[in-house]
């Protein structure tokens, strides 16, 4: 499977699929807030892709140029992704929740040439100073060119076909990790095509599959585990603008989904909904599942909705759930699965040495950079070298164990990464913002259990001597610099923080409430 995408780029794959599956449904989009619904065949979407590519080309976008795309889940985002790939340009997506401060960091890192923004998000981008001369707006905003008008004025055939190598970049996707600033994961044409075929195998997909997702279009889960598998198999992507617990299962049934993506928050909020006597009347074969839930929650969900959960583990850097339940045969919950096609995996100690079966250590994944793993971090060779060693091993900073039959089990994640309703939150990034608030001497941020959203963001604040911190003002400061899901939901003012021999804050003691600090909780 590693060589399956050799020599092919996304433009070639798209055109090939558009020709062979021309009249089959490619995309169904639903926006529950506006009641907008749209459906496109492969031929129709290829035509729209060509128009968008021509629009970008006519406005001076060339191979290797970075274009920032600041959109919600939408038809236009998918158009931009494939259109930019068709002319060899690089998409840089911005999460709709990002603040101007977060956007500035991404723009400085990537030096983008053009921006496409939703009219609702444009003020946020302008506050960040998009730092580009050309801004195209989706929706109605005076003074800026309209995406819809520009695209529709273009011919439905490609005007330019610059040469594109399979290992050329398609995207720089910024992800929160264990550093103060998000890092840009560089994804190639090979990465995209490989991921599609991998998930086709993982979910035993066929051309008639209809895959429903409410994940954010800016995330790897949507792009490489739902969108690309639909394209490589010739199936349909059912894209919802956002997740709604009251609507999700109705959407699954209404759109005749055969596959759907889920995570812990989705499972828990669906279980909290009133029982619908028709809710088991559906066509879902598998729930493609991410993040842990309890044995009781899994059993209750599968029994109530008459559906099976396929568990897997991966990251943006590994592209897909490279440790996974198999499409057929036994599963061993709560295992996160066995090694998927095209990868190797092992459990290692701090020195990178493989540990014996059953021992807990870091999960390490072996693949090929730019093929089955990310190409690296954009403009950050030091971080790339730290994550990917010379032998092709990706160091995940997550901890697990493996049993004698090759099944892996997730144990814990590095303390600096918090999972909040499917979003990754870097505690270091939040600490950096907190420590720029007047009167804060030091801050320590950890994740604490949340019955619905996996974890809450909790901040322990050590003030300067004699300073009384106004928690409301502190949180307002955070809201100005961080996406809403990164803003602490719990704050504790401390007189001290637990430290090790070298003065480093012992976050494990904070997580387990074995701290030496005391104070008031707000």
DSSP for residue 485: G
Q: Which two tokens stand for residue 100?
A: 């101007």
At residue 514 the predicted structure's pLDDT band, cuts being 50, 70 and 90, is very low
The number of beta carbons lying within 10 Å of the beta carbon of residue 8 is 15
Q: Exposure of 121 by Cβ count < 10 A (0-12 exposed, 13-18 middle, 19+ buried)?
A: buried
User: Which of helix, strand or coil describes residue 10?
Assistant: helix
Task: Collect all residues with Cβ–Cβ distance below 8 Å to 35 and sequence separation of at least 6.
Answer: none
Q: How far apart are CA 131 and CA 474, in angstroms?
A: 29
Are 414 and 176 in contact, with CB atoms under 8 Å apart?
A: no
User: Which of helix, strand or coil describes residue 339?
Assistant: strand
Note the pLDDT of residue 246. 95
Q: Which segment of 14-28, 59-73, 240-254, 431-445 scores lowest on mean pLDDT?
A: 431-445
Question: Is it true that 10-331+340-400 and 418-511 share their CATH fold?
Answer: no
Note the pLDDT of residue 516. 35
Phi, psi (5° rounding) for residue 287? Answer: -100, 115
Q: What is the pTM of this model?
A: 0.85
For domain 10-331+340-400, is the CATH number 3.40.50.12780?
A: yes
Task: Cis check for the bond before 334: say yes or no (omega within 30 of 0).
Answer: yes
Note the pLDDT of residue 521. 35
- What angle in degrees, to the nearest 10, is found between the helix axes of 10-20 and 189-202? 50
Q: What is the CA radius of gyration of the chain?
A: 23
Q: Which two tokens stand for residue 272?
A: 């909290």
Summary mean pLDDT of the chain: 91
Q: How far apart are CA 147 and CA 196, in angstroms?
A: 28
Note the pLDDT of residue 501. 46
CA angle (393, 400, 391) in 5-degree steps: 10
Q: Which segment of 41-55, 197-211, 440-454 scores lowest on mean pLDDT?
A: 440-454
Q: Per residue in 461-501, pLDDT tens? A: 999 889 999 999 999 999 999 999 999 999 999 998 887 64
For domain 418-511, is the CATH number 3.30.300.30?
A: yes
DSSP for residue 329: S
Residue 222 has pLDDT above 80, yes or no: yes
Residue 518 has pLDDT above 90, yes or no: no
How far is residue 8 from each of residues 15, 408, 451, measured CA to CA in Å? 11, 33, 44
Task: Collect all residues with Cβ–Cβ distance below 8 Å to 99 and sequence separation of at least 6.
Answer: 124, 479, 480, 481, 482, 483
Among all chains, which residue has been given the structure tokens 């989705």?
Answer: 266
DSSP for residue 453: T
Residue 423 has pLDDT above 50, yes or no: yes
Q: Per residue in 224-266, pLDDT tens? A: 999 999 999 999 999 999 999 999 999 999 999 999 999 888 9
Note the pLDDT of residue 306. 97
Q: Per residue in 271-298, pLDDT tens? A: 999 999 999 999 999 999 987 788 899 9
**Between these two residues, 154 and 129, which has the higher pLDDT value?**
154
Q: Per residue in 90-147, pLDDT tens? A: 999 999 989 898 898 899 899 998 999 999 999 999 888 777 889 999 998 889 999 9
Residue 2 has pLDDT above 60, yes or no: no
Average pLDDT over residues 35-62: 97
Query: Could you state, in order of their start, the residue ranges of all structural domains in the chain?
Result: 10-331+340-400, 418-511
Q: How far apart are CA 222 and CA 447, in angstroms?
A: 24
């Amino acid at each position: 499977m590693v060589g399956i995408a050799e020599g092919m780029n996304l433009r070639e794959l798209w055109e090939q699929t558009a020709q062979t599956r021309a009249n089959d449904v490619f995309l169904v989009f639903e926006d529950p807030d506006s009641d907008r619904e749209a459906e496109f065949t492969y031929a129709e979407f290829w035509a729209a892709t060509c128009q968008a590519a021509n629009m970008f080309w006519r406005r001076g976008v060339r191979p290797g140029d970075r274009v920032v795309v600041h959109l919600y889940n939408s038809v236009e985002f998918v158009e931009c992704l494939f259109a930019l790939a068709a002319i060899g340009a690089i998409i840089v997506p911005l999460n709709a929740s990002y603040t101007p401060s977060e956007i500035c960091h991404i723009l400085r890192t990537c030096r983008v040439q053009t921006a496409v923004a939703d009219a609702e998000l444009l003020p946020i981008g302008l506050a960040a100073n998009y730092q580009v001369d050309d801004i195209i707006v989706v929706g109605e905003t005076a003074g800026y060119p309209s995406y819809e008008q520009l695209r529709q004025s273009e011919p439905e055939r490609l005007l330019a076909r610059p040469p594109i190598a399979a290992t050329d970049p398609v995207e720089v996707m910024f992800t929160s990790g264990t550093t103060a600033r998000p890092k840009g994961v560089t994804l190639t044409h090979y990465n995209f095509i490989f991921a599609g075929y991998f998930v086709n195998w993982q979910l035993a997909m066929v051309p008639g599959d209809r895959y429903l997702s409410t994940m954010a279009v800016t995330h790897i889960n949507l792009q490489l585990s739902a969108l690309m598998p639909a394209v490589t198999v010739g199936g349909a992507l059912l894209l919802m603008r956002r997740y709604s617990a009251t609507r999700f299962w109705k959407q699954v049934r209404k759109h005749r989904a055969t596959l759907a993506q889920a995570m812990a928050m989705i499972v828990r909020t669906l279980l909290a909904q009133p029982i619908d006597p028709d809710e088991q009347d559906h066509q879902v074969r598998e729930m493609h599942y991410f993040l842990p839930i309890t044995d009781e929650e899994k059993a209750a969900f599968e029994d109530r909705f008459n559906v099976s959960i396929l568990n897997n583990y991966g990251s943006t850097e590994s592209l897909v759930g490279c440790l996974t339940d198999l499409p057929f045969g036994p599963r061993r919950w709560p295992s996160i699965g066995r090694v998927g096609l095209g990868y190797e995996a092992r459990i290692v100690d701090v020195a990178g040495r493989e540990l014996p079966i059953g021992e807990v250590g870091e999960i390490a994944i072996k693949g090929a950079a730019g093929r089955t793993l990310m190409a690296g971090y954009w403009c950050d060779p030091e971080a790339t070298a730290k994550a990917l060693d010379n032998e092709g091993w990706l160091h995940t900073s997550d901890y697990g164990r493996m049993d004698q039959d090759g099944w892996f089990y997730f144990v814990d994640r590095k303390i600096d990464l918090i999972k909040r309703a499917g979003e990754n939150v870097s505690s270091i990034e939040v600490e950096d913002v907190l420590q720029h608030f007047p009167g804060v001497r030091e801050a320590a941020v950890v994740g604490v259990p949340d019955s619905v959203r996996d974890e809450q963001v909790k901040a322990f604040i050590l003030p300067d001597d004699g300073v009384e911190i106004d928690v409301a003002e502190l949180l307002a400061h955070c809201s100005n610099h961080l996406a809403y899901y990164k803003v602490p939901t719990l704050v504790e003012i401390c007189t001290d923080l637990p430290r090790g021999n070298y003065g480093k804050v012992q976050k494990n003691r904070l997580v387990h409430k074995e701290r030496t600090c005391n104070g008031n909780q707000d």
